[in-house]
Amino acid sequence: HDGSDLHGLRVVISAGGTREPLDPVRFLGNRSSGRQGVALAAKAAARGAQVHLVAANVDSSVLAAVPGNVQITSVETTAELQDAMLEASAASHVVVMAAAVADFRPARTRTEKTKKHADGSVESLELVQNPDILAGLVAGRREGQIIVGFAAETGDADGSVLDHGRAKARRKGADLLAVNAVGADVGFGDVPNEVHLLDASGSDLGAGGGSKDDVAHVVWDAVVRLLNSRSG
């Protein structure tokens, strides 16, 4: 890859997974490691972009792979991630939402650790829906800005992963949606990853991948093609 084909571009990338506190010691979260977002940040920097990484609960061992010239903002909750992305996107040519965002959060966060009841009774947990950060970014998209989403879909070899992805691409309206299959051995953690890139109408722009670094290059290649098609 050309070491400078993203030169002059400011990009912001979210990585990791948001956590929603139940009380001072417990949270609702997910298994996203942040590796795909970190790979996207590292490869964008290697290709000349000015990179801002918004990291939601990414382990320091994973963040160690981030080059020193990448700006890092650490967040915990979906609300914090939303604030950071809205602010950073205002100054960015490309916005990538690679973070796994909690769809729901507890309706109330306790200020004290939740205790068991002596009589053995349990309380139910009331949840409220979180905002869709990607949808908000698409709604506020600046002229010429490219917004990329990720969609982890489950399904089998009958094409249902792509069917779900196409429907989501149309619904979300991002310029690019990177759809990958998650299952027992693909998707999360330090494992191979493969993506199909769909445009906002759900058309398949091609597949690629292997390692998370390979997936990162596939995404940046598609961004470069999109920018070139718009300028030419």
- Residues lying near ligand C5P in the complex (CB under 6 A) are found at 97, 99, 101, 103, 130, 132-134, 149-151, 168
CA nearest to 179, candidates 154, 201, 211 = 154
CB of 67 to ligand C5P, least distance (A): 22
Binding positions for CTP:
103, 113, 131-134, 150, 168, 172
CB of 115 to ligand C5P, least distance (A): 31
Residues 30, 130, 180, 193: which is the catalytic one?
A: 30
Break the chain down into helix, strand, coil percent, rounded to 5: 30, 30, 45
Q: Do residues 113 and 27 lie in contact, with contact meaning Cβ atoms separated by under 8 Å? A: no
Alpha helices in 90-124, H assignment, sequence order: none
Which of 101, 223 has the CB closer to ligand C5P?
101
CB of 123 to ligand C5P, least distance (A): 25
Signed CA dihedral, 150, 97, 75, 8: sign only: positive
Q: Residue 83 is encoded by which pair of tokens? A: 């604030």
Give the separation between CA 34 and CA 49, rounded to whole angstroms.
20
130 in catalytic set? no
Q: Do residues 99 and 17 lie in contact, with contact meaning Cβ atoms separated by under 8 Å? A: yes
Q: Residue 196 is encoded by which pair of tokens? A: 């199909």
CB of 215 to ligand C5P, least distance (A): 14
Which of 22, 182 has the CB closer to ligand C5P?
182
Which of 14, 50 has the CB closer to ligand C5P?
14
CB of 18 to ligand C5P, least distance (A): 8
CA nearest to 150, candidates 191, 179, 181, 183 = 179
Give the separation between CA 207 and CA 198, rounded to whole angstroms.
9
Q: Do residues 137 and 97 lie in contact, with contact meaning Cβ atoms separated by under 8 Å? A: yes
Active site residues: 30
